[in-house]
Structure 1
Amino acid sequence: MDYHTAIVGGLVAGVLARIIMLRLDYRQYPTYPHDLINHIALGFIASLIGAVFIPALMLKEYTAVTFLAVAAEQFRNVRNMERETLTKLEENEIVPRGIDYVEGIARTFEARNYLTIFTALLVSGCILWLGWVYATAVFVLILIIVCYLKSGKVVGDIAEVVLEKLYFEGPFLKISDIYLMNVGYPPDREKILAEGMGVLIKPKDDNGRAILHNLGQRQAIVHTAAALLGTKKEVGEPEFTPLARKNIDTGEIGLFILPLEKDFECLRKIIERTPVLESASRKPLDTKAGRIAAD
């Protein structure tokens, strides 16, 4: 058997899978060139570990098992590194991501390194036992699964987003009877009414209501909207802070933002495409008690 060919094939497959899994946009870290290099390098190491695992076992080099244990420990450190880095960056964010979003990103990058190992391991094994044709088919199947996992659930799957008018009751800024904040300075009130945007996020069912109840999920929505549409909030100007508050009776979320670009259709798409965080995911309707309560 040509172990070298299997190792090289698994290595290439793992690196390609890791590159495909990298997501460079407003949400996901890394968005900086050096961090991109770091993650590709880690993907190479993960691919190499996965690619040599089966050939090493076939050569009765059972110490190869220890490499997986070492790799798991190192990738846990990667998760900690991502968390620490993003937490430090949060200090300078006008509209922060929130702890839940940061933790979700850190978990994602740890998990993707494990998927890289798994991809390289399967492809190298298929090359050894079944040949290139089956190995290629397995690789394509893995990529399809990876792309499906990468997409995940978004807010648009659990809720409807509709435009809603902002208004004041005295100094209190409201949207659809949801209290947002107290704005005492009259010129700021005029600016908010003239340039601000308000939307209602209406959960489709009790599962969606439970997800939107999570503060981390709401902060992720606000951060995403501010990151893409921009915000006129500045340090020392709390009146222009983007907010998401809940109607305690219906579970609907009222969102306010003073954007640089006032475009409702863009805001709706941004909110609908915001990912549902793992820490916010709730499914009360999957339980008997939850279904009874929903009736």
Structure 2
Amino acid sequence: MTAFLIENKYTVGIMLGVIFGLASRILMLRTDYRQYPTYPHGRIIHISLGVIAAALGAVAVPALFNKDYTAITFLTLAAQQFRDVRKMERDTLTKIDELELVQRGTTYIEGIAMVFEGRNYLVIMTAFFSSLFAISFTWYYGLAAGIVSMIIVLALRSGKSISHIASAESVPVKQDGPDLLVGDIYIMNVGLKVNQELIAERGLGVIIKPYNPNGKATLSNLGQRQAILYDLSTILGVYRDDGEPALIPMAKLDMRDGRLAIFLLPQEKNASKAREIVLRVPILESAVRMPTEAKVNQQEGS
């Protein structure tokens, strides 16, 4: 058996690379409350792309050992293919978003598309290192490299959430005549009596307080606000139908201190659950702002 593994180290390395690469893609593939990727067909598409990415990463190692450097150029073709996948995901989600009662928003969609592209590169990395160590040393080194790569993939699978940059508090929804407020933050003017009664019965409010100027700048991003509204509406439901603008969930910023007020009419009125959902909303990479990292602000603090 040992002699067979030594004689066929390239084959063993490629097999280990493909296995670990595919396993890492399956590990990162999850259909959750957002129902994307869809099950089963959307998942089949992404698993198939994972097989291709794993094969590319695993086969690159024997090509390097055989000094077949021209064969590495197919990795550039793979990168182009995965960029096309990102575009496909973006276009698909944009079309779907037009039919949502509460939309994800462009920033959220771009974040999802970026994640799907990036995860294919993580698959290539896992397959490459598994194959490299198996061929360079022996199969159990490849096994160890694959396990370490999977741990790295797990660490990179999820980014930060709102809880890392802000606290959240459930607050009462108030009506002062036609004026609607969440806590002490003004939301909008509601003139119709029937809407006022509905808001009094079902209205739910959350105030998000940023920890620092970076969190304040991130929460002021319209795409990040829309992501919060979408997650709340998806999990708790939304009590509205098309053509009812007065009942749409809203997020308004307190211009004085940067607090963000969330107003929602959910199907399930649960204040503690709403607060927990807000804290778990992912921070969108495109929405992150870090004004404290600017040299002018660092000079002021020194």
CA contact (8 A) 1:25 1:31 kept: no
Match of 1:267 among 274, 280, 290: 274
Cα offset, 1:94, TM superposition: 0.4
Match of 1:121 among 128, 133, 150: 128
**Aligned pair in 2 of structure 1 residues 286, 165: CA closer, same or farther (>3 Å)?**
same
**Aligned pair in 2 of structure 1 residues 44, 127: CA closer, same or farther (>3 Å)?**
same
**Aligned pair in 2 of structure 1 residues 253, 294: CA closer, same or farther (>3 Å)?**
farther
* 1:140 matches 2:147: yes
Match of 2:89 among 72, 77, 82: 82
Residue type of the alignment partner of 1:275: P
CA contact (8 A) 1:155 1:274 kept: yes
* 1:214 matches 2:221: yes
Aligned to 1:281: 288
Match of 2:23 among 16, 20, 24: 16
Cα offset, 1:286, TM superposition: 2.6
Match of 1:30 among 10, 29, 37: 37
Helix, strand or coil at the partner of 1:235: coil
What is the rounded CA distance, in whole Å, between the counterparts of 1:234 and 1:42 in structure 2?
Answer: 37
* Structure 2 unaligned regions, length at least 5: 1-6
Aligned to 2:58: 51
Cα offset, 1:28, TM superposition: 6.6
Cα offset, 1:188, TM superposition: 1.2
Deviates more, 1:14-23 or 1:176-185: 176-185
Cα offset, 1:130, TM superposition: 2.1
Helix, strand or coil at the partner of 2:96: helix
What is the rounded CA distance, in whole Å, between the counterparts of 1:188 and 1:291 in structure 2?
Answer: 48
What is the rounded CA distance, in whole Å, between the counterparts of 1:111 and 1:25 in structure 2?
Answer: 19
* Structure 1 unaligned regions, length at least 5: none
Residue type of the alignment partner of 1:78: V
CA contact (8 A) 2:133 2:142 kept: yes
CA contact (8 A) 2:214 2:291 kept: yes
The alignment of Structure 1 onto Structure 2 pairs a total of residues equal to 295
Cα offset, 1:189, TM superposition: 0.6
Aligned to 1:100: 107
Helix, strand or coil at the partner of 2:100: coil
With structure 2 as the length reference, what TM-score do the two structures score? 0.94
Helix, strand or coil at the partner of 2:128: helix
Cα offset, 1:68, TM superposition: 0.2
Residue type of the alignment partner of 2:181: K
Residue type of the alignment partner of 2:283: V
Helix, strand or coil at the partner of 1:19: helix
**Aligned pair in 2 of structure 1 residues 219, 114: CA closer, same or farther (>3 Å)?**
same
What is the rounded CA distance, in whole Å, between the counterparts of 2:72 and 2:216 in structure 1?
Answer: 45
CA contact (8 A) 1:206 1:285 kept: yes
Residue type of the alignment partner of 2:57: G
CA contact (8 A) 1:229 1:260 kept: yes
Match of 1:39 among 35, 43, 46: 46
CA contact (8 A) 1:230 1:261 kept: yes
Give deviations 1:103-156, integer Å, cap 9, x for gaps: 000000001111111111110011011223322222222222211111210001
Aligned to 1:109: 116
* 1:150 matches 2:153: no
* 1:72 matches 2:79: yes
What is the percent sequence identity of the aligned residues? 47
With structure 1 as the length reference, what TM-score do the two structures score? 0.96
Cα offset, 1:206, TM superposition: 0.9
Residue type of the alignment partner of 1:21: M
**Aligned pair in 2 of structure 1 residues 277, 3: CA closer, same or farther (>3 Å)?**
same
Cα offset, 1:287, TM superposition: 3.2
CA contact (8 A) 1:284 1:291 kept: no
* 1:184 matches 2:188: no
CA contact (8 A) 1:14 1:47 kept: yes
What is the rounded CA distance, in whole Å, between the counterparts of 2:297 and 2:105 in structure 1?
Answer: 28
CA contact (8 A) 1:28 1:105 kept: no
* 1:197 matches 2:204: yes
What is the rounded CA distance, in whole Å, between the counterparts of 1:292 and 1:208 in structure 2?
Answer: 20
